[in-house]
Chain A
Amino acid sequence: MKYGSSYRKTTLAGYVFLAPAIFFYSLFFGFPVIFSLIVSTKRWNMLIPLSKARAVGFFHYKYLLNNELFMHSLLNTLMYSLITVSISLTIALILAVLINNAKFSILWRFIYFTPVVTPQVAIGTIWGYLYRPNNGLLNSILKLFGLKPVYWLTDPNVVLFSVMITAIWAGIGGSMLILTAGLKNIPQDYYDAAKIDGAGPFKQFWYITVPLLKPTLLFLTATGMIGAWQVFDLPFIMGRNAPIKSIMTVSWYVYETAFQSLRMGRASAGAFLLFCVIFSVTLIILWIFRRGGIEGYE
């Protein structure tokens, strides 16, 4: 009986301490999600009160899942997220390992981190100049090798990859910095023991570095995927002159539907579908990583 009372008190104290977090979580996450879910069942242009908006049930969801442009934007975003996250993480991991014990490692980290603190609008504009068909740097290099010029930002078969290249370049620094911190936490003893057992640099990397970096890689993959699925600025800035189906992303579609077409209901349905995709992708990533065990976190 005495134990039960103490248990209740402890539980109550726990909830009291959790209350502020739950309050803010509900206010800034729970409420917007529920509100957007409600809006997604209405035909609303923001100019009339929501209460007067016509209820349309799940019409917007049905519309979007049958809409060619939305499905193209989903496909573009899927490609963008898979390719940019995997390539930028791979390059970041290699760079982190190379830089970790290199001379002037702080300088290298600073150089690679600079794009992360540069506004995406500036990055998009500068890369736009590099991608120019006539006097752009990339086509000038191709010309040196006698290759044909590429219409980087207008050719529908190329434009998404052009934006991805920029995104990979811009994203490496952040991942590299976190991976470098992860590498510093791996005890040197493991490498020394592996050397004694005759393991070469590649085996050390594959059997020591990669498994012990799993928690860091999990974090970077999950956050990278979440960010990539929400990508808006780079495709919007760089791809506006390309045929839209080849470059539009889900966030761009949602933005345009909401603020240009004034269809808040449809935009909210799109945003909610995007939320479901991101949630599912995050769960899949967690499952994949946890399947093999996460050293250091388990």
Chain B
Amino acid sequence: MMRKLIVFLLVVALVLLAFSVFGRTKLIMAVHWSDYQVEGVKDKNGNLIKKGLRQYVEEYMALHPDVEIEIQSVPFDEYLKRILISHTSGEIADIYVLYSLWGVQLVDSGILNAPPKDVVDKVKSDFVKPAVDGVTIDGKIWGVPIEVDNYALVYNKKLLKDAGFDNPPKTWDELVEMAPKLTKRNKDGTISQYGFAFLSGWDSAVVHPYLALLYSNNGKFLKDDFSECLLNSKEAIEALEAELKLFKNGGTDPAASVWNFPAGKIAMMIMAPWYETSLKLGFKDRYEETVGVSPIPYLKKPTTVGYTWFIAVDNASKNKKIAWDFIKWMALNDSNGFTRMGELMAKNIGAIPPKKSDIAYFTGELNDLYTSVFVDELKHTYQEPNVAQGQEIKTILMREIVEAWNGRKTAEKALKDAKKQIDEILAEFY
């Protein structure tokens, strides 16, 4: 009798377990974040100091026992490949965190699901303009912005003071004048301390600061309808010539590396918000007395360039509504005065959250000497254009700029060559 009762209870337990497991809706969320950003930051004793994505996901699953969310973290370099391969193999994620530049092709290929109307309305009303521009493709919003990045001038206060400068340059002409005075050379002619260093090594690094100068010179990169590249314009050529002045007057050279800034070998550079932690680690207790941040020196008007990361749902997901419900809870619900995504961005990832209420709430994190300038510069930020083959176009422009930096082409020739190649691509798609 006892044995029968045990068998019966076991069967009931198994049936309940099966229902609880198989009755749950499973969502897969793909992100490009690193371990601490997903798992949270812990102290030496293993106590959680800063929440990661996992803690928010667990909170959501506790509130919604019928939903299970699996986080798949893929390094940034492999992330787009993962999306491509998952679609070829049919193993898609339901939710993606995406770089705005990839959006056009994903939308054109029918990969992204159009958000519900309430999400679209919230994005339009509650987020800063560069971020809204970042998730807008062909006039439609395709996701919820979660991170907005732009650029500012980062300078070494001590090196500037040693050279007799109390303030950073405000205009590009001032920067061009100051850079050689901040440059020191070895006996063999190589530069031991750079007055200015350009970001290099990947396309955004080279192109974004150039675009900031172009927009600052009242120029445009592409026509509004993307039918033509405008890099042959007077404003575009002047902007690149402005960069080349630094190479000609000895304020920099193509071998400069911004990664030497924490070693005290760079006086000025143009940088993004995500470099703050590296600078703090590099300068340690000398961070506050050494690092200064100010808007990018301008040609005709103050301008910077930005890019956005957003969260979106795959059109092939079988659980689109549930996926959007999670996104609303995570990135739009600010009943406590802030969103959970905003908290993750400001406290853990160290990025600027694009929701206005989050920017207003996390003043402690966003008002420090480094990030406050980037936040303030959001008003001067132009979002990089969401154009088809944006990555390819950006790579072409980067290569031509590097040719000019190395003196292999004049600014005019480099930009003319870039325009020719970019126009060929635009003709394919527009």
Chain A interface (Cβ within 8 Å of chain B)? 45-48, 133-134, 139, 143, 148-149, 151, 154, 156, 240-245, 256, 259-263
Contacts and interface: CB of A to CB of B under 8 A. Distances in A.
Contact of B403 (A133, A240, A243, A259): A243
A262 B428 CA distance: 14
Contacts of B188: 143, 148-149
Contact of A156 (B83, B84, B110, B408): B408
B87 interface: yes
B190 A133 contact: yes
Contact of A47 (B109, B200, B202, B402): B109
A255 to B, nearest CB: 10
Interface string B161-193: 000000000000000000000000010111110
B354 to A, nearest CB: 26
Nearest to A69: B399
Chain A facing B: main interface SS: loop
Contacts of B81: 259
Contact of B191 (A45, A134, A156, A243): A134
Given A45-B105, A149-B189, A154-B254, A259 B406 contact: no
Given A47-B84, A256-B395, A240 B190 contact: no
A243 B192 contact: no
B201 A241 contact: yes
Interface residues of B, number: 32
B399 A46 contact: no
Contacts of B408: 156, 243
A236 to B, nearest CB: 11
A134 B259 CA distance: 14
Contacts of A241: 200-201, 254-255, 402
19 contacts: A45-B109, A46-B87, A47-B110, A48-B109, A143-B188, A156-B406, A240-B201, A241-B201, A241-B254, A241-B255, A241-B402, A243-B406, A243-B408, A256-B395, A259-B80, A260-B391, A261-B391, A262-B389, A262-B391
B88 interface: yes
A48 B111 CA distance: 9
Interface in B360-408: 389, 391-392, 395, 399, 402-403, 406, 408
B256 to A, nearest CB: 9
Contacts of B110: 47-48
A143 B81 CA distance: 45
Contacts of A263: 392
Contact of A260 (B83, B88, B392): B392
A134 B389 contact: no
B67 interface: no
B106 interface: yes
Contacts of B87: 46-47
Interface in B99-138: 105-106, 109-111
